[in-house]
Amino acid sequence: MGLTKKDFTLLIIVACLALFAPFILNPFPEGSAMAQFNAGYPDLMQRLVIFGIFAIGFNILFGLTGYLSFGHAAFLGVGSYAAIWMMKLLTMNVIPAIIISVLVAGLFSLLVGWISLRRSGIYFSILTLAFAQMSYALAYSVLTPITGGETGLQPKYTDPRILDGALAPGETPRANLFGLDMKSSFQVSAGDWIFTFNAGYYVAAVIMLIAFYLSIRIFRSPFGMMLRAVKSNQQRLNYTGLNAKPYTLAAFVISGMYAGLAGGLLVAMDTQVGAERMFWTASGEVVLMTILGGAGTLIGPVLGAGFIKYFENIISKINKSILEQWFAFMPDGIEDLLITLVYPFIGKGWHLTLGILFMLVVIFLPGGLVEGGQRVARLFKRKKPSDDTPDGKTTPAE
């Protein structure tokens, strides 16, 4: 497959994590006090892999070239709108929708990158942010006939859909893969555990693995080496006579196509599109994912995306009644004190917890979660004694 042994091992690890996610994300039995932390339900698992794709693409730009974009949500939104219109006009099959989302996002990112890359540093970041906010404003108000404005877009049974048969009045169109409904699931019970296997999740997971494999090939290619040279010292690279702009523009477009792919998959899993996907907070979220996981690493953005989406969907759902159940065995005074101390950090306050964790990672693990994993691995790694010196000691060279 054109990969080194180390990279192939990493790909296999990611594939195993994706395959067994319904088991890994449901470690606690149903009905237990810790079942709140189970994340093995379809909607969240889909978001874990889709935003993993989004972060992988952003890492190709930021991690390799050092160009920090605050406008990638625009490509996510453009890809979503392209996909939903494909479903309204052509077919509810997700394949054409995903393809068109990648192509349209690529063309739009080519335009934005061609203008924004005329500047670097903070000026580049501000330009991309401006494009994203303009795109959001257009989608929210000006282009309402195309985007649906505040209410957004979703397929209707009255849509033409050239390749699909007519639907009965009131019937809800469903995204599918050659007839396989993306929402179809089946459950397996094992004792007190319930594991859910969803068709849409595995479709998104396979596409994520392909996207991850392509990112490895980009990282290890001569093109990837050129992007690293741009990040290291672009001015010195220019002195050698090489023009860095075609490489940075190519990286920007590839990154935008990854964002469009994520947007198309979001529509394939949930056929509802709104302008909020293009807001600047979505761009900031992918920046956090990449930095938190480890910018410039292969698996880091995937870990960062999973970490943030887990907090967003799990910690935010913990409310006061759940805390009362957890601390019910304690005396009333201590129970009330603990609830008072913990409550600001859960529910609507999950951003506060995430912010604290993000600061701790940046301060103590500048390389992100990947660096944390490497440190743990070094703790358990045993140094093998040299074959020439049985006692493990080395002798100075003569």
SS3 label, residue 390: coil
Bridge partners, residue 198, by sequence? 185
Residues 15-63: pLDDT tens digits?
Answer: 999 999 999 999 888 877 788 888 888 999 999 999 999 999 999 999 9
Residues 312-336: pLDDT tens digits?
Answer: 888 888 888 888 888 888 888 888 8
Residues 138-160: pLDDT tens digits?
Answer: 999 889 989 988 888 999 888 88
The identity of residue 181, as a single letter, is: D
- The pTM assigned to this predicted structure is 0.91
Residues 147-206: pLDDT tens digits?
Answer: 988 888 999 888 888 988 777 787 888 999 988 999 999 988 888 888 999 999 999 999
The identity of residue 2, as a single letter, is: G
**pLDDT of the residue at 384:** 52
**pLDDT of the residue at 367:** 87
Going by C-beta distance under 8 Å and a sequence separation of 6 or more, which residues neighbour residue 384?
Answer: none
- C-alpha gyration radius of the chain: 24
Q: Are 305 and 293 in contact (CB under 8 A)?
A: yes
Over residues 92-102, the mean pLDDT reads 95
Cα-Cα end-to-end distance for the chain: 45
| Residue at token pair 């703790």 | 379
Reference 271, options 101, 142, 22; nearest CA is 101
Rounded to an integer, what distance in angstroms lies between the CA atom of residue 76 and that of residue 300? 20
> Which pairs with CB-CB distance under 8 Å and at least 24 residues apart come from 19-26?
19/205, 21/45, 21/48, 21/201, 21/205, 22/195, 22/196, 22/197, 23/195, 26/193, 26/194, 26/195
